[in-house]
């Protein structure tokens, strides 16, 4: 079963489309020293969001991602 089946079937039941909003981190959009594992996992969320957007668009299901801003150390 594809990961998109759960939101797809739920939103299909309503018959009016809908929205899926996964959360990610800005670290997934750029390289960061010493936290490569976290960066890779967040990039995966971004990739999944882009894929779901393409797959679900014909069913009027919008997929957008909220990306938390990158924090800085002081």
Decide if 42 is inside a domain.
yes
Question: Which of these is catalytic: 23, 38, 40, 66?
Answer: 38
Decide if 26 is inside a domain.
yes
The 3 state secondary structure assigned to the chain is CCCCHHHHHHHHHHCCCEEECCEEEHHHHCCCCCCHHHHHHHHHHHHHHHHHHHHHHHHCEEECCEEECCCCCC
Percent of the chain scored above 70 by pLDDT?
Answer: 80
19 backbone dihedrals φ, ψ, rounded to 5°: -145, 145
Decide if 23 is inside a domain.
yes
Q: How many domains does the chain have?
A: 1
Give the domain extent around 49: 5-68
pLDDT at 40: 86
The 10s digit of each residue's pLDDT in 26-54 is 887 777 788 888 888 888 888 888 998 99
Residue 66 designated active-site? no
Decide if 73 is inside a domain.
no
pLDDT at 72: 62
Decide if 74 is inside a domain.
no
């Amino acid at each position: 079963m594809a990961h998109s089946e759960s939101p797809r079937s739920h939103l299909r039941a309503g018959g009016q489309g809908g929205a899926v909003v996964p959360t990610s981190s800005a670290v997934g959009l750029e390289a960061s020293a010493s936290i490569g594992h976290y960066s890779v996992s967040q990039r995966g969320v971004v990739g999944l969001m882009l894929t779901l957007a393409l797959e679900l668009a014909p069913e009027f299901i919008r997929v957008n991602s909220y990306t938390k801003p990158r924090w800085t150390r002081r």
